[in-house]
Structure 1
Amino acid sequence: MPARFKDLALDARDHQALADWWCAALGYARRQDPGEPRPAEWPVPIHDPAGRGPLIWVNPVPEEKTVKNRIHLDVWGAPEELLALGATMVRRRDDEIGWHVMADPEGNEFCVFEKER
């Protein structure tokens, strides 16, 4: 086996705000390491306190998102609640696709499958 899954990484101009947004959207929390606090310019690790989801690193980058993601998150969720948090609807579920395509506040696309969470 040449590789094994470790974490997810998400780039953001305002990585602090986007980390908070994904924490609210997924029920995640910032991972607090013992010892010294993380400098604000460092990537922010967020995790599922229940231990079901992967660790996600929200990394600071200087550029805006300009093209479609080549990889994205698929989540179970309620589109209207995500819209209320600040997501945007890219494409609603229709006869061609059985999920909603949405974007987080920085434009990173993700797919939302409606089902009990």
Structure 2
Amino acid sequence: MARLRDVVFDCRHPASLARFRAAALDGYEVAPYDEEELDRLRSLGFSGPEDDPSVLVEAASGPRLFFNQDLTGDSVERLVALGARVLADPEGNEFCLVIP
């Protein structure tokens, strides 16, 4: 039986959208940043959580929500040319399937 473990949203500004969704959904909150994660972001050239390109929102139960800076159409096409596979639902919405 299939179950939802993670839901990924492509967006322009992950931090603000993650805060909005966490506030809108009961029991969800933006995952806290520890010093190790802040150091990792800084090493990649990001100043901190506000410009993090991938923000996690989680709850005690229910799927984790990831808010990721979206790839442009050119990036997706380039990745497909390199061998990536893109799945689409009947309406053409792209999604990923993760096999644990």
State TM-score, norm by structure 2.
0.49
**Higher helix fraction (1 or 2):** 2
TM-score norm. by structure 1 comes to 0.43
Higher relative contact order (Cα pairs below 8 Å, separated by 6+ residues): 2
